[in-house]
C-alpha cells in the first residue's frame, strides 16, 4: 500500500531549485542528504544541473524508472505536471504546492481537477498544500522539513503541516523516533484511511499516531480503523472538538467537520484511542512503541519516596488502574530483602537511601508476581540515589524475566536524574516527567489489551416488515413531505418489531369510544394532521381519559379547538391509545452526520437527556456488543441495571430496539432523523413499548 510513496524506485522533484531556502531546493537537498538510495531526479527546464545532479526539462525526459514525483510548481501548473507524470507511468504525486482548496473557489476547482486527472490516469495524489513525507527506514526524506527525524517505531500522520515541523523539531530533542512521517495537507485524494491501510502491515511501525481536523469518509474510516487497531494501536487527536474550535478548523482547512460526538463514538467503536492533547498523544505513542501490552489493569508502583508514591496511587485510581495485593512469595522476598522501614505493600517504597540493589530486588519480585500486570517505577534524586544504575537495572530486568510486562518509569528531577533518563531512552523504557503521566500511559496500554480481547459480534439480519414500512415511507415521499405523522411513524416502528400501545386512528367520536373500550381505560388521544407539529399547543393532546364520556367530550372538544386555531389544517383523525405509565423511560434517537452517516443516541428520558445531557452515541453499523456498551456508558445506567434491590430493566429489549432501528436505517437510508421518545422499558424479560416515534426523511432533491 502506497508503495510508490514510501518505497519508490526513483523520485523526481518537479520544480527543483538550487536555492536551499526555497521549498524546491530544500526538498531536493533533503532527498540527497537524507541518504535515499533510489534515484533522485531534479526537474527544472531552466537548469542543466542542480546540486550535482542532471536536471531534466520534464519528468518524461528522465531515462530511469520513477515511481513518485514531488511537485513544487505554482498551483496553476500542477495539472500539466500531473499529466506528464501519468505519461511517465509515475504512480504517485506528492503535491507540496499551496493555492488549492484552502485558497478559495478557484483553488477548489483546480484541486478537483488534479484528483480527477489522477483517477483517470491511474495516479494517486498526495496533498496538495503539505510538507511532504518521510520514511526513516528507506532514508527517504521527501519533505521540506528542516530535519530528518530519528528512526523509531511510531508512524505519525498530520493534517497540519506546521504541527509536523513543531513535532519533528521537538522529537529530536526528546529522542523520539519515527518510522513514517506524513503531512497529509488537503487530503484531496490520499487521506487518513489510506495511511492506516498502508501502515497496517508495515513492520517498522508499532503504533500509529496522528493529528486530524476532519475525516473524509467516516464509514470507511470506521471499517478500516476497526481492522487496523486489531493489529496495532492507533492514537489520534481530533482537533476542533469545541464549537469554537470546529469553526476555526473548518475555516482553516475548508473541511466540514461533523459533530464531535460522532467522532468520539467512531473512535470508541473502532478501537482508536483518542488523545486530548499533544502530550497525551506522544506519552501514549511512546509507551506503545517501547513496551509490551499488559494482561490487565493491575499495576505495582515502586518508589524511593512516599509522596510521589501517593501521587502515583491517586493517578492509578483516576485512570481506573488497580494496585493489587501481592502474592505471599513476593511479600516474603520484599520483607527479607528490604529494610524494616520500607513499605512492602503496594506502592512499594524502598526508602530514600535505596541504592540500585533494593530496586533490583523489588523489580525481580514484582515482575515475577502473577497478580502484577506491569510496573510504574518512580525515582527521586536523594543523596545516595543511583539514577544511572537503577535505569540500567530497570531496562535489564524488564527485558529479562519481566518480558511481557510493561514497565514505565518516572525519574523525577533534572540534572541528578539525567544520566538515568538517558539510559532509559537508549534502552527504550519510556520515562515520564510525572507519575500522573506514567499512569495515564499505562491505562492507554491496558485499553489496547481490552480492545484486542473484545469480541465484536455480528450484525444479525432481523425479521422485519420492510414492505409495510416502505409503503408508508413511499407515500410520504410521494406527498413531498419530510416529516412522518406520528401515526405513520408508529406504524413504521411497529412493522420493525417494536411493540406500540394498543390503539387506532379514528375519525369520529363513537369510534373513539369503542377503541377506548377495546384497549381499556385510561387512554390518550392525539390529533393527527400534517400541518400540526406541536399538538399540545393547539389543544390536540388529551391524557388520562377514564370513561366513554371523557373520550367523547375530548374528541369533540379537540375538533372544535383545532378547527378554530388551525382552520386550514387537514385533519387525518385522532389516535386513541392505551396509556402506559409503567416502566422506565428511555430515548432512542438517530440523526444523520455529514461524515459518519447514521449516528444513534441513547439516554434516559426527560431530564436525564435534556438537563444532565447524560447520553451516549454510536455510529452505524454497530453490533449488539456496541449497543450494550452504549447503554452501560450513561451515568444513570444503575437506574436500568437496578439499584437498591430494584429489578433490572429489560436491557436486552433496549439493545434489540437499537438493532431494529439500525436495520430500519439500513433499509431506508433516506431517513435523516428518528427518535422513539419515550421507549418504556419494562422489567427484565418483559420487553419495551414505543410510546411515541418521530421520523424525518431527507429533503427531496430539487429538479
- CA distance readout (Å), 619 to 79, 259, 504, 597, 659: 38, 11, 34, 7, 12
x/- mask, a copy of itself, residues 17-56, rule CB under 8 A, reads: ----x-x--x------------------------------
Cα 210 → chain centroid: 11
Neighbours of 443 (CB within 10 A): 21
Q: Which stretch binds a copy of itself (CB under 8 A): 234-242, 396-404, 471-479, 533-541?
A: 234-242
Maximum CA pair distance of the chain? 101
d(CA 21, CA 144): 10
d(CA 316, CA 300): 10
CA angle, 655 then 661 then 665, to 5°: 145
Question: Is residue 643 within the footprint of a copy of itself (CB under 8 A)?
Answer: yes
Q: Which stretch binds a copy of itself (CB under 8 A): 413-421, 578-586, 590-598, 625-633?
A: 413-421
Question: Is residue 173 within the footprint of a copy of itself (CB under 8 A)?
Answer: yes
Question: Is residue 169 within the footprint of a copy of itself (CB under 8 A)?
Answer: yes
| Beta-sheet strands, E only, within 127-220 | 132-135, 140-143, 150-158, 177-183, 207-212
CB nearer to a copy of itself: pick between 170 and 560: 170
Residues 160 and 127: beta-carbon distance below 8 Å: no
Question: Is residue 16 within the footprint of a copy of itself (CB under 8 A)?
Answer: no
Residues with Cβ < 8 Å from 638, sequence gap 6 or more?
none
Q: Which stretch binds a copy of itself (CB under 8 A): 56-64, 187-195, 410-418, 485-493?
A: 410-418
Question: Is residue 317 within the footprint of a copy of itself (CB under 8 A)?
Answer: yes
Torsion from C-alpha of 281, 147, 124, 80, nearest 10 degrees: 140
Among 130, 193, 323, 566, binds a copy of itself (CB under 8 A): 323
- CA distance readout (Å), 635 to 276, 603, 613: 21, 9, 10
Among 77, 119, 318, 543, binds a copy of itself (CB under 8 A): 318
Q: Which stretch binds a copy of itself (CB under 8 A): 217-225, 345-353, 526-534, 670-678?
A: 345-353
* Contacting a copy of itself within 375-404 (CB under 8 A): 380-383
Smallest separation, CB 77 to a copy of itself (Å): 20
CB nearer to a copy of itself: pick between 171 and 696: 171
* Contacting a copy of itself within 439-478 (CB under 8 A): none
- Closest alpha carbon to 279 in 392, 471, 436, 130: 436
Question: Is residue 595 within the footprint of a copy of itself (CB under 8 A)?
Answer: no
- 321-349 in b/e form (b: 16+ CB < 10 A) is bebbebeeebeebbeebbeeebebebbbb
CB nearer to a copy of itself: pick between 347 and 501: 347
CB nearer to a copy of itself: pick between 83 and 389: 389
Among 304, 398, 486, 616, binds a copy of itself (CB under 8 A): 304
d(CA 437, CA 443): 10
Indicate the pairing of strand 10-14 with strand 234-238.
Answer: unpaired
Among 7, 434, 511, 519, binds a copy of itself (CB under 8 A): 434
Q: Which stretch binds a copy of itself (CB under 8 A): 144-152, 423-431, 484-492, 563-571?
A: 144-152
Binding residues for a copy of itself, rule CB under 8 A, total 90
Smallest separation, CB 208 to a copy of itself (Å): 18
Instruction: Give me the DSSP letters along 300-324.
Output: EEEESSHHHHHHHHHHHHHTT-B-P
CB nearer to a copy of itself: pick between 345 and 560: 345
Among 63, 203, 244, 453, binds a copy of itself (CB under 8 A): 244
d(CA 497, CA 290): 50
Smallest separation, CB 580 to a copy of itself (Å): 21
* Contacting a copy of itself within 269-288 (CB under 8 A): 276-279
Question: Is residue 105 within the footprint of a copy of itself (CB under 8 A)?
Answer: no
Among 16, 417, 579, 697, binds a copy of itself (CB under 8 A): 417
Among 182, 239, 334, 571, binds a copy of itself (CB under 8 A): 239
DSSP helix/strand/coil, 629: helix
Among 341, 463, 549, 647, binds a copy of itself (CB under 8 A): 341
Amino acid at each position: 500500500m502506497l508503495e510508490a510513496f514510501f518505497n519508490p524506485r526513483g523520485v523526481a522533484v518537479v520544480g527543483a531549485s538550487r536555492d536551499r531556502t526555497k521549498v524546491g531546493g530544500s526538498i531536493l537537498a533533503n532527498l540527497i542528504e537524507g541518504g535515499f538510495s533510489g534515484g533522485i531526479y531534479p526537474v527544472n527546464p531552466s537548469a542543466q544541473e542542480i546540486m550535482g545532479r542532471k536536471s531534466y526539462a520534464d519528468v518524461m525526459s528522465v531515462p530511469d524508472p520513477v515511481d513518485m514525483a514531488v511537485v513544487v510548481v505554482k498551483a496553476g501548473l500542477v495539472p500539466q505536471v500531473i499529466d506528464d507524470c501519468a505519461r511517465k507511468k509515475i504512480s504517485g504525486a506528492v503535491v507540496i504546492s499551496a493555492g488549492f482548496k484552502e485558497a478559495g473557489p478557484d483553488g477548489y476547482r483546480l484541486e478537483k481537477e488534479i484528483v480527477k486527472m489522477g483517477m483517470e490516469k491511474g495516479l494517486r495524489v498526495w496533498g496538495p498544500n503539505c510538507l511532504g513525507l518521510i520514511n526513516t527506514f528507506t532514508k527517504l526524506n521527501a519533505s521540506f522539513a528542516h530535519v530528518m527525524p530519528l528512526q523509531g517505531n511510531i508512524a505519525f500522520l498530520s493534517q497540519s503541516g506546521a504541527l509536523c515541523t513543531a513535532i519533528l523539531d521537538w522529537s529530536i530533542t526528546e529522542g523520539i523516533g519515527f518510522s513514517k512521517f506524513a503531512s497529509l495537507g488537503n487530503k484531496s485524494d490520499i487521506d487518513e484511511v489510506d495511511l492506516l491501510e498502508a501502515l497496517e502491515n508495515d513492520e517498522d511501525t508499532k503504533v500509529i499516531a496522528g493529528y486530524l481536523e476532519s475525516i473524509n469518509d467516516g464509514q470507511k474510516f470506521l471499517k478500516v480503523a476497526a481492522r487496523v487497531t486489531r493489529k496495532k494501536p492507533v492514537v489520534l487527536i481530533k482537533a476542533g472538538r469545541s464549537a469554537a474550535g470546529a469553526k476555526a478548523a473548518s475555516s482553516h482547512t475548508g473541511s466540514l467537520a461533523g459533530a464531535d460526538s460522532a467522532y468520539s463514538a467512531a473512535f470508541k467503536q473502532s478501537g482508536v484511542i483518542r488523545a486530548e492533547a499533544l502530550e497525551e498523544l506522544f506519552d501514549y505513542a511512546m509507551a506503545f512503541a517501547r513496551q509490551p501490552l499488559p494482561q490487565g489493569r493491575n499495576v505495582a508502583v515502586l518508589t524511593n519516596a512516599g509522596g510521589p508514591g501517593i501521587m502515583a496511587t491517586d493517578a492509578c485510581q483516576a485512570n481506573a488502574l488497580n494496585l493489587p495485593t501481592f502474592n505471599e512469595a513476593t511479600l516474603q522476598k520484599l520483607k527479607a530483602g528490604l529494610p524494616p522501614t520500607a513499605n512492602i505493600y503496594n506502592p512499594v517504597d524502598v526508602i530514600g537511601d535505596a541504592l540500585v540493589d533494593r530496586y533490583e530486588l523489588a523489580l525481580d519480585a514484582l515482575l515475577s508476581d502473577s497478580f502484577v500486570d506491569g510496573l510504574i517505577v518512580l525515582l527521586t534524586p536523594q543523596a545516595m540515589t543511583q539514577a544511572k544504575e537503577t535505569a540500567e537495572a530497570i531496562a535489564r530486568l524488564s527485558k529479562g524475566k519481566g518480558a511481557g510486562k510493561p514497565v514505565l518509569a518516572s525519574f523525577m528531577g533534572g540534572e541528578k536524574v539525567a544520566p538515568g533518563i538517558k539510559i532509559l531512552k537508549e534502552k527504550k523504557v519510556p520515562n515520564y516527567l510525572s507519575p500522573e503521566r506514567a499512569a495515564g500511559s499505562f491505562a492507554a496500554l491496558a485499553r489496547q489489551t481490552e480492545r484486542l480481547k473484545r469480541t465484536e459480534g455480528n450484525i444479525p439480519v432481523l425479521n422485519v416488515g420492510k414492505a409495510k414500512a416502505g409503503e408508508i415511507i413511499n407515500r410520504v415521499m410521494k406527498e413531498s413531505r419530510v416529516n412522518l405523522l406520528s401515526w405513520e411513524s408508529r406504524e413504521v416502528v411497529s412493522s420493525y418489531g417494536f411493540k406500540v400501545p394498543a390503539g387506532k386512528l379514528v375519525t369520529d367520536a363513537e369510534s373513539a369510544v369503542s377503541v377506548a373500550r377495546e384497549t381499556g381505560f385510561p387512554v390518550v388521544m392525539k390529533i393527527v394532521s400534517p400541518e400540526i407539529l406541536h399538538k399540545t399547543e393547539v389543544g390536540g393532546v388529551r391524557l388520562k381519559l377514564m370513561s366513554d364520556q371523557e373520550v367523547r367530550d375530548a374528541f369533540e372538544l379537540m375538533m372544535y379547538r383545532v378547527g378554530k386555531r388551525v382552520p386550514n389544517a387537514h385533519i387525518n383523525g385522532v389516535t386513541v391509545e392505551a396509556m402506559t405509565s409503567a416502566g422506565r423511560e428511555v430515548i432512542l434517537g438517530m440523526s444523520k452526520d455529514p461524515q459518519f452517516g447514521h449516528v444513534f443516541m441513547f439516554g434516559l428520558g426527560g431530564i436525564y437527556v435534556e438537563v444532565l445531557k447524560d447520553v451516549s452515541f454510536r455510529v452505524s453499523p454497530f453490533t449488539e456488543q456496541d449497543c450494550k456498551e452504549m447503554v452501560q456508558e450513561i451515568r444513570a445506567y444503575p437506574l436500568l441495571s437496578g439499584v437498591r434491590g430494584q429489578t433490572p430493566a429489560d436491557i436486552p429489549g433496549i439493545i434489540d430496539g437499537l438493532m431494529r432501528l439500525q436495520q430500519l436505517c439500513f433499509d431506508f437510508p433516506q431517513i435523516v432523523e428518528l427518535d422513539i421518545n419515550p421507549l418504556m422499558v419494562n422489567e427484565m424479560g418483559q420487553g419495551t413499548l414505543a410510546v411515541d416515534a418521530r421520523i424525518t426523511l431527507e429533503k427531496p432533491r430539487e429538479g
